[in-house]
Every structure is written in C-alpha cells, then in structure tokens.
Amino acid sequence: MIRACRVTGFDRAPQLEALALTAPGPQEVRVRIHASALNFADTLMCKGTYQDTPEPPFTLGLELAGEITALGAGVRDLSIGQRVAVYAGQGGLATAGNFPAERCIPIPDTLGYDTAAALQIAYGTSHMALDYKARLHPGERLVVTGAAGGVGLTAVEIGKRMGAEVIAIARGAEKLAIAKAAGADYLIDAGAADIREQIKTLGGADVVYDAVGEPLYEACFRATNPDGRILLIGFAGGDLPKMKPNHMLVKNITAIGFYWGGYLAFNPAPLKASLAQLFDWAAEGTIKPHISHRLPLERFEEGLELLRSRRATGKVVLEP
C-alpha cells in the first residue's frame, strides 16, 4: 500500500488516499519517492485546465526523485537501488509509484533528492527555452518576468550563466532581492507604472522570457528591440498576451511558444541532453535550485496554496 494525493473529480478538492501498488509493467520501474517538486501546473490539473490533464482519478505530481525498488520486464539500463529523477507527468505526490524507465535520469551521487526533483521542469524549461529555442547569445539583454518564481528564477540564473545581461521583474523588495542573488543585473518592481521606460533606458530587450502574461507582456513587448525574441512560457498572471502581429512584423520580432514536457512526445533527445547538462552543473555547484519550502506529503494542500497565492519563491518540495 502507498499514500497518494488523488484527484477524483475536477469539482472536488484532492485528497490523500491509501492505494494498492501493482508490480511495475514491462519497461517500467518502481520508485520509492524521496522528494516531489510542486509546479503551478499542479494547481491547474486540480481544476482540469492544464493542457496535459489526465481523466480522473489520478495522482498529482509532475516531477520526483527517489530510489528504484523493482524492475519491470525488459528494463536493462537501470538497477535496483539506483537513484533517479523522473519527469512523470503525474504520480509524483505519493510515497511510491511505477514509472516508464525511459523517463528516469540517473542522479549524480553528490546531488540530493530534493535538488534533483526541483531541477527538472524549472531549470529544464529555462535552459531549453533560452538555449535551444531563443539562441540567447553572450552580451544580449534578457528580460525575465516573474523572476522570483519557480521557472523565472532559473531563467535569471541560467541566462546569467550564458553570458546575458539580465533584467529581473518581480513584485516587492523581497522577491527582487532573491532575483538579485540569482545573478540579475537590474531589478524592476512588477508594480511600477513605467516598466517599458525602465527597460528602454537600460537598452531594451533582446530576449524576453515571459512566464506571467498580461499586463507585463505588453510593457516588455513595447520595450523589445528589433529582431528580438519573446518566449511565451506561461500565464501565471491569468491573462493571455495581447499579440500585435503588425508591430511584430515591422520590428522583426519573433514570438516563441515553449512547452518543455511536449518534447517527450515528439523529440526527447534535446530534452534529455539538456537535463544531463543541468545535472552536471548542479553536481559541480554551478547552479543550485532555490527551494523556499519543504513540506511533508500530508501538507500538500498548503504547498499548492503557496503556488496559487504566489507566496513561494523558487520551488516547493514535498518529502514523503
């Protein structure tokens, strides 16, 4: 028997339940879960509004890290007792689970379970978006919205590591201080009335990493330099960007939609290569996920509320 955070209907709050866990199927492994990182997508899945929400009932939790305790038939490249991180899509908010072997990434010995769990989606999103999609170059100016949030903070850190000049936009002095500690060169409060003017004064944006949507998108778009790129990462602000194709045409601006998990379905190679690079950087201490809250599994609802209310900075990790 395991304990799992289950969504049984989109009109009902998720509940912690006891479940019987079957043996892993072919090409699956059983993982005893040591850490599971929450994401804003988990809050959307509770309501059925996330793009990859399964039909209820299902267990919440997109990303996890733990120890393999059983192997399904045909699994050859992994072993019992091996430490792995898993982008599961679902099933992470539990004490154990069965997951596809192809989604398991071995964890370096020097990397903790909490770091491995927290690193995958947030750092993976920023690394692939900035490197693989936007082709961010050293010396370019990167603007990051929601810069103290789960993915925004990683964009600040990775953008700086890639040699960019980073402008961080976040709400309040505390969150801006966190972005500054991650490497931001310039700070702009999200509540300011002159965000566009502040960015333009600093030289304008070559790349915008937007995890918020409106109203920040409009200000950042108007401050984007000709030939700039705008990464559409998410809409934590609740409102979709108001696109202006005619202005994009005149300024030769490229808008890039990016969904990290989608690459597992149609092109997993760059995603896996990115994760391997990130695990190496983390093991070296080059990057270090900021975990603002560590909670036991029983307090999952508290963790979800931290994301809904935007009181979390960096990642929230549950430790079964």
Q: What is the pLDDT of residues 272-286, one digit of tens each?
A: 889 989 999 999 888
Q: Which domains does the chain have, with CATH numbers?
A: 2-120+262-318 (3.90.180.10), 138-258 (3.40.50.720)
pLDDT confidence bin for 55, thresholds 50/70/90: very high
pLDDT digits (tens, 9 = 90+) for 109-162: 999 999 999 999 999 999 999 999 999 999 999 999 999 988 999 999 999 999
Closest CA to 147 of 316, 315, 313: 313
Query: In the chain, helix, strand, coil percent, each to 5?
Result: 35, 30, 40
Cα angle value 61/63/66 (rounded, 5°): 105
Q: What is the DSSP letter of 298?
A: G
Residue 57 has pLDDT above 80, yes or no: yes
For residues 245 and 268, the answer to whether their CB atoms sit within 8 Å is no
Closest CA to 166 of 128, 135, 138: 138
Residue 299: how many other CB atoms lie within 10 Å: 14
Residue 81 has pLDDT above 90, yes or no: yes
Cα angle value 110/63/130 (rounded, 5°): 80
